[in-house]
A and B are shown apart, each in its own frame.
Chain A
Amino acid sequence: MTRQGIKELELTAAKCRRNVLRMVEASHHGHLGGAMSCLDIVTALYFYQMKIRPEDPKWADRDRFLLSAGHKCMVQYAVLAERGYFDKSVLDTYGALKTKIPGHPDMHKLPGVEANTGALGHGLSIASGMALALRAEGKDSKVYVVMGDGELAEGSNWEAAAVAAHYGLDNLVVFVDFNGLQISGKVQDIMDFTPISEHFAAFGWAVRDIDGNNMEDVVATLDSLPLEKGKPNLIVAHTVKSKGISFAENKAAYHYWTPKADELTQAINEVEASIATLEKEVKEAAE
């Protein structure tokens, strides 16, 4: 991909970060840390990789995206809105009664949502079922999943990990958003699943470790799929919790954020400044 293409994706990601903050403006709370850490990956999936039709969200031949760590839903809403699945004004209803964008996604309320995730350890099984059925139909659709790192402690994931490998589901692509922090502290102190890629490799997955906040790295990884023919793909995305909000980066306290004092204003200023910078860089890259 060209430098301009990368910069354009980075700019889109910055705009999606602004969308996340727009939801926090509406509700004054939200799972910030995880939404921001995997945001570059989700942006690349929707704006670069996936075969989708936002105007026809149920298109039978589409690729699927599941956010297994459903509490990171602000990233999903931010990206779907930016991609045109629904009007951005819906973002202003985050936290409101009868909103279409509840604190964990609901496929029956919002176009583009494929599964009602949120209870951890469900997404990988659902995605494996999708991948298996799509392959049985002879479709070349892919199923993409973002999981949390703390979520790996749910035993049901390992049932699905065995299934995906047993059936050689190379149309299944899973990112573990390894920001290293969960609500109570460091993932490795709470329940250590490192080295994550080796665990999955032992189950029979093709694995790769990447910098999940580096758009070049993310795009290069997407370009190289499947990592190995006949094996499901597991990408350990090393990321920064609350990426893009300086005071919140790498802090477990921002797993769930209720902005204090002028925190929200500062966050908005930082993200808007990065949008302005990236707009300039895109222009320069084009010239």
Chain B
Amino acid sequence: MKGEMKDPRKAFGKAVSDIAENDERIYVLSADSGGSSGFKEFAAAHPDRYFEFGIMEQGVTGIASGMATTGKIPVFCAIAPFVTCRNYEMFRNDLGYMRQNVKIVGRNGGFTYSDLGATHHSLEDYAIMRMIPGVVVLAPQSPDEIRGAAKAMLEHEGPVYMRIGNPPIPELYDGEREFVIGKGQLLRDGTDLTIISTGSTTVETLKAAETLAEKGVSVMVIGMPTVCPIDEELVLMAAKKTGRIMTVEEHYVHGGLGTLVAEVCAENNPVPIKMHGVPKEYATSGPYDELLHYYKLDAEGIEETALAFLKK
């Protein structure tokens, strides 16, 4: 964790725009959402490859599919629930079943649209996206990972869903690290417990690991920016080495990262697992940092949950 905090949407928009400079197949689609997704400059520089459709996420998903049949790589970014729930059947059939090379990005994921309320929260996107055969689900954890994930997403042939947040976040790595779809990152080694996190909660998880270390608990931290397909090898290595796994995600406890990790362990090496996330409810609204605290997804809450799990 280092350097200035950066807006993930701007990092994403710039990463795609930079790649699109040299790849004319990339089209950016907007449902009155492009400007807020970091594509203002792209829209001005490439009006021939930037299409505005107004607020119609179902329509845009189908249109993206049609465009992709001609070899284009459409990128469509809007508020997360509207590009996952609203258009789910279009995602399933027009992108998944048709195997189209379309990239859908849900921004303001999790409850980063904190005080706008549950209509604008996205706490089930990993769960519903991972159920569509052939769809890759990404949740990069930092601006540097967003850059890597954007490149990997555009190079990958097939439908991809990527979730990014909204509040500024710090870099995670010293220098660039290659982003490989399906590969997690061992961010900290440890022996007592493994905490696997994805997306927005990884930075807080690292902070929690630091304070746990001060209390004599050795925590392995794995960052899992690809939710699906999950890095089974890394999960099983952690299960074997620490014998206990806790998962952390800004997502419902069920159906997302925790469920994926539990599935891998249950089938290969059952170990005690604590799935930590948001309970299945319409999350309350309020300032983002207070929401994280309320649902114990800040460093303090993660530490407290880990200690309780270790006592079991």
Question: Which residues of A pack against B, CB within 8 Å?
Answer: 64, 106-108, 114-116, 118-119, 122, 124-134, 136-137, 155-156, 159-160, 162-163
Contacts and interface: CB of A to CB of B under 8 A. Distances in A.
A130 B69 contact: yes
Given A129-B64, A132-B63, A162-B59, 6 more contacts: A125-B60, A125-B65, A129-B68, A132-B51, A133-B69, A163-B53
Most chain A beta-carbon neighbours within 10 Å: one of B65, B69, B98: B69
Contacts of B66: 115, 125-133
6 contacts: A108-B99, A115-B69, A119-B89, A129-B69, A133-B67, A163-B53
A126 B51 contact: no
Contacts, number: 91
B94 A125 contact: yes
Interface residues of B, number: 29
Contacts of A133: 27, 66-67, 69-70, 72
A160 B94 contact: no
B97 interface: yes
B81 to A, nearest CB: 17
Contact of B93 (A122, A129, A132, A155): A122
B266 interface: no
Given A132-B51, A163-B53, A163-B59, A122 B94 contact: yes
B67 A159 contact: no
B155 interface: no
A126 B93 CA distance: 11
A10 B65 CA distance: 35
Give me the 7 closest cross-chain CB pairs, A-B, nearest first: A129-B66, A125-B62, A159-B59, A129-B63, A130-B66, A159-B56, A126-B66
Contact of A122 (B27, B54, B62): B62
A64 to B, nearest CB: 8
B61 interface: yes
A126 B66 CA distance: 4
B63 A128 contact: yes
A156 B67 contact: no
Contacts of A126: 62-63, 65-66, 69, 94
Given A116-B97, A125-B61, A136 B48 contact: yes
Interface in B147-203: none
B33 interface: no
Contacts of A131: 66
B15 interface: no
B58 interface: yes
Contacts of A64: 69
B56 A134 contact: no
A192 B97 CA distance: 31
Interface string B223-265: 0000000000000000000000000000000000000000000
B257 to A, nearest CB: 29
Nearest to A128: B63
Interface string B27-65: 100000000000000000000110101101011111111
Given A160-B63, A163-B63, A114 B69 contact: yes
A62 to B, nearest CB: 11
A118 B98 CA distance: 12
Contacts of A122: 62, 89-90, 93-94
Contacts of B51: 132
